[in-house]
Structure 1
Amino acid sequence: MKISGIINIRHVPRTGWVLRGVPPAVAETISDHIFLVTLVSLKISEDLMESGFKVDVAKTLVMSLVHDLPEAVTGDIVRYVKEKEPSYFKMVEEKSLESLGMEKYIDLYREFEERKSLESIIVKLSDYLATIIEGRRLIALGYSDVREIVENMENLVKNILESLNNLELKNVVEKTVMNMLKN
Structure 2
Amino acid sequence: MNDVIAVADTLCKTPRVGWLQRGVSEAESVCAHVLLTTLLAGEIAAHLNAEGVEVDIAKVLAVAAVHDLAESVLGHPGREVRDKIRWEEAEEEVFKREFPHLAELFRWYRYETNLVGRIVSFADKLATLIRACRYKKLGYDTDDLIKNLYRKLAKYDDLAHILDIYVARYCQGVTL
Q: What's the counterpart of residue 120 of structure 1?
A: 117
CA distance in 1, matches of 2:78, 2:108: 21
Q: What's the counterpart of residue 48 of structure 1?
A: 48
CA distance in 1, matches of 2:124, 2:89: 21
Q: Give the TM-score taking structure 1 as reference length.
A: 0.84
CA distance in 1, matches of 2:48, 2:97: 35
Question: Which runs of no fewer than 5 residues in structure 2 stay unpaired?
Answer: 170-176
Question: Which runs of no fewer than 5 residues in structure 1 stay unpaired?
Answer: 165-169
1:99 and 1:2, CA in 2 relative to 1: closer, same or farther beyond 3 A?
farther
* Preserved CA contact (<8 Å) 1:48 1:55: yes
Q: What's the counterpart of residue 137 of structure 1?
A: 134
* Preserved CA contact (<8 Å) 1:5 1:73: no
**Could you tell me which of 103, 106, 111 is aligned with 1:106?**
103
> Which is bigger in relative contact order (C-alpha 8 A, separation at least 6)?
1
Q: Give the TM-score taking structure 2 as reference length.
A: 0.87
Query: Is 1:61 the counterpart of 2:61 in the alignment?
Result: yes
* Preserved CA contact (<8 Å) 1:17 1:146: no
Identity %: 29
Higher helix share: 1
* Preserved CA contact (<8 Å) 2:12 2:32: yes
CA distance in 1, matches of 2:7, 2:97: 10
Any residues of structure 2 matched to 1:148-167 within 5 Å, and which? Answer: 148-159=144-155, 161=156, 164=157
- Structure 1 ranges of 4+ moved more than 3 A: 97-100
**Could you tell me which of 168, 176, 180 is aligned with 2:162?**
176
- Partner AA of 1:158 in structure 2: A
CA distance in 2, matches of 1:97, 1:2: 15
Q: Which range moves more in the overlay, 133-142 or 91-100? A: 91-100
Superposition CA RMSD, Å:
1.7
Count, aligned residues: 167
CA distance in 1, matches of 2:24, 2:3: 30
